[in-house]
Amino acid sequence: DPKEINLLEVVEAIDGPIQLNECVANEGVCTFEENCPIRPVWCDAQDELVKRLKTTSFADMLSREA
């Protein structure tokens, strides 16, 4: 049923977990981590993308085509 399949499931089935930047999923990979001004931006952007993909079903996309 298209209502039960979300975009996150499809993307992760093909590409694996979404990771906008290595430091988002792996703490300690960067020597600047504690003082990095961009890491929180990467983390927020990834969270927003994952949430958007998770809440968008194939039924949603089909209804937008009309």
Q: pLDDT tens across 8-22, in order?
A: 999 999 999 999 888
Inter-axis angle of helices 39-54 and 7-15, nearest 10: 120
The answer to whether 42 touches 24, Cβ cutoff 8 Å, is: yes
Q: pLDDT tens across 4-63, in order?
A: 999 999 999 999 999 988 888 877 788 887 788 988 899 999 999 999 999 999 999 888
- pTM of structure: 0.81
